[in-house]
Structure 1
């Protein structure tokens, strides 16, 4: 649904920005893993495309609020970072496919890199409500790029932090610490969000341990509703056929082992409908 939301609070979270917006309809329909798209620049802007933003928290306060987390990457997100309390935003959401949750209590490792970690906290809340054990592995380039460390420590059985410069936790990347966390916790499943290279490496570790992995991909999205086709990526279907799926509509959550990470940014020759015969191969 499309709503005009009022900004309730704004805050800096180390290197990131967080906006809490009153958006009752979106908050009511939200499930962990959903995202929202936000119009930027104001009524007379030349920036016509929306920005897809991660939902970090949803509360019933004021009829329903959503907290959106982002980093400044260009003029659109720079404009968002300048919003203040009582400003209004044009939001569409909740969008995308949320994380599937286990029916039974299992051990889950949640892996987040940079501000991708933000999407995992509603997942953790939902898993804990189902009696699951939750362990976090969070990382970033430096201490100010690790999102949610204190909150993770409050809610998880264990929290492992990594930084590439060694300024917080272990020196290295989340995937350096992941194998030992999976082994120590006897994990049954992995949930992950972060840059595509991180998700590729997390998926490889989960496959090595023969446990399922659900990933929320970070692909650039222009419309957020499946029309523009800018966020497509190659994903293998249940029938073994590769299709170019839209991260905003069929995702952003996918089974990690089904995403052809090595081919992201291309159209593989064997994909259904690809130039070079994907359709012929599919019969």
Structure 2
């Protein structure tokens, strides 16, 4: 079986609403058989004759062998492209490219794994949880959102996780507060050895910081960054670059789609996202001002 991505016309099985989000299930055997947790798919929107050229990138919530191989993605309806997807019906065809990107790195031995998620991006944790559990790892969840309707997968986490903690900013589900408020306590209680995180960029930044305080490695899935900047999903357009501190101590601009979307949290230069740091390899240099004609030399 090849690990290379495929472009396929996938058949819509179902589109259903889950709290404030939508779950789209597609029959795509060639993608399902190649998928590894942490990879994503790029979905064309608008139909065959649409002028919408930019694909939408989504993490994969679940892969099943049903109907020869299905994949399910979860997303918020926030713009015309996602609105088009919510209007799909059973047996419609959708052009999908995947699986794309580098997956999560899995521990060699059974360890305590803490999976932290926020919003619809947290859907990527569940395929990972299943793989970790089959490797004999303990799986612990922390899920958060502004309100109960914005926390994805809380019941599933309680069912499949060894422990599960939920937080909401308004106190409508679980503990009142943010994920970062409970994270130190949960790390201590679970004896976590590694932290995996999927969610808004601000959440990934805070998870990385807390994990670092405990000396724990962290892997972060940059889906929000991918969705807001990626155009192609394959690394060709170079629109989703971010500064990343390499093993050799050199900062390079890496692509969230091709070099990620899973990266080591402690290597991402969170404070410099959206910029090219002056010390990054290949960064543009400020040129000296050119004297105007007639100026003293």
TM-score tier, shorter chain, comes to: over 0.9
1:40-51 → structure 2 map (5 Å cutoff): 40-51=45-56
- Structure 1 segments of 4 or more deviating over 4 A? none
* Pick aligned residue for 1:177 from 176, 182, 191: 182
How many residue pairs end up in the alignment? 277
| Displacement after TM superposition at 1:255 (Å) | 0.4
1:165-204 → structure 2 map (5 Å cutoff): 165-204=170-209
| Displacement after TM superposition at 1:54 (Å) | 1.6
In the alignment, structure 1 residue 254 sits paired with structure 2 residue 254: no
| Displacement after TM superposition at 1:276 (Å) | 2.5
Structure 1 residues 105-114 or 213-222, which shifts more? 213-222
CA distance in 2, matches of 1:72, 1:265: 24
In the alignment, structure 1 residue 115 sits paired with structure 2 residue 124: no
CA distance in 2, matches of 1:222, 1:141: 28
Secondary structure, counterpart of 2:136 in structure 1: coil
* Pick aligned residue for 1:265 from 263, 274, 282: 274
Counterpart for residue 226 of structure 1:
235
Secondary structure, counterpart of 1:105 in structure 2: coil
1:1-283 → structure 2 map (5 Å cutoff): 1-217=6-222, 218-219=224-225, 220=228, 221-276=230-285
| Displacement after TM superposition at 1:26 (Å) | 0.1
| Displacement after TM superposition at 1:109 (Å) | 0.5
Gapped regions of structure 2 (runs ≥ 5): 1-5, 287-297
Secondary structure, counterpart of 1:29 in structure 2: coil
Give CA deviations for 1:259-282 in whole Å, capped at 9, x if unaligned: 0011001111111111138xxxxx
| Displacement after TM superposition at 1:116 (Å) | 1.4
Counterpart for residue 292 of structure 2:
none
CA distance in 1, matches of 2:15, 2:37: 22
Q: What is the aligned-residue RMSD (CA, Å)?
A: 0.8
Secondary structure, counterpart of 1:78 in structure 2: helix
TM-score normalized by the length of structure 2: 0.92
